[in-house]
Every structure is written in structure tokens, then in C-alpha cells.
Amino acid sequence: MQYPSPPNQQRYYEQVWDLARQVPYGRVVTYGQIAQRISAPAGVDPQEYKAWSPRWVGDAMAACPDDVPWQRVINAQGKISARPGAQRQRRLLEAEGIVFVNDKVDLKRYQWPGPGHVEEPRQATLF
């Protein structure tokens, strides 16, 4: 497949890394989510930005500095994108307390920002 890159790629990547660094321990974000939080670079058609930016975020993550918690960025299906190293990513997330069911995490529960975890339905404590 063939796809465009952002103008000023390096600066775009840095914006991605800055956002990724804000994801707390035990939480995840999606590529598209990070892309949405970065405004389309000047000269990029909004429609085109919407189409390609999630991939750009993926490209940025592939080249991220060591201080970025790269393991917390996953795809919009709640899965780890296939590649060599995917298994290591899963281990790191599990070590943060994240549970995988059928190779997928519950985004409602772990996606950041958000509540952080879904309270179990609890019966009112009766006296």
C-alpha cells in the first residue's frame, strides 16, 4: 500500500510522542485518538488528515524515543497491531494490570481519558 506523510514529519511525530507520554500507567489510547487530538498541519485537507493521520501516529510510534510509553498505544479495535514485538507489548500492558480477552482489551474500561474502570454493578448496602 501507498500513503502520504505529514508535511514536517518530525514535528508531527513530536506532537504524537508528547501526547503518548501523558497516558497514565494502566491505561491505553488508540492511534486515531491521538491523531484527533492533533490539529491538521497547515496545508493538509481536513478530510485527508482524517483519513491518514492514524497511520501517521503509527509511524511516529515506530520511531519513538525510549521515554515514551509506546505500549499504551493500541488500535481502535482494542487490539495490539500485528508486528514483531506485539507479544512484548501485550506482556507490558498485562504487567500494568490490563486484562486481555480474545486478544482484545475493553476500551470502555482502559481507554484514557475516561473513568478508568467500570464500577461493578453493586447492590445497595442494606442495613
Partner DNA sequence: CGCTTGACCGGAA
Partner DNA sequence: ATTCCGGCCAAGC
Which of 15, 54 has the CB closer to DNA?
54
Which of 26, 36 has the CB closer to DNA?
36
Which of 59, 98 has the CB closer to DNA?
59
Q: Which among 23, 28, 45 is positioned nearest to 79, based on CA atoms? A: 28
**Calculated CA dihedral for residues 70, 71, 76, 81, nearest 10 degrees:** 100
- Please report which helix (H) or strand (E) contains residue 73, including its range: strand 73-74
Helices within the chain (DSSP H only): 9-20, 31-36, 46-62, 86-95, 107-110
Of the residues 73, 93, 98, 107, which one makes contact with DNA according to CB under 7 A: 73
Residues 26-55 binding DNA (CB under 7 A) are 30-33, 45, 48, 51-52, 54-55
Q: How far is the CB of 117 from DNA (least distance, A)?
A: 21
Q: Which three cell numbers stand for residue 117?
A: 474502570
Of the residues 3, 43, 123, 126, which one makes contact with DNA according to CB under 7 A: 3
Which of 23, 60 has the CB closer to DNA?
60
Of the residues 11, 37, 83, 117, which one makes contact with DNA according to CB under 7 A: 83
Asked if residue 77 binds DNA (CB under 7 A), the reply is yes
DSSP state of 39: P
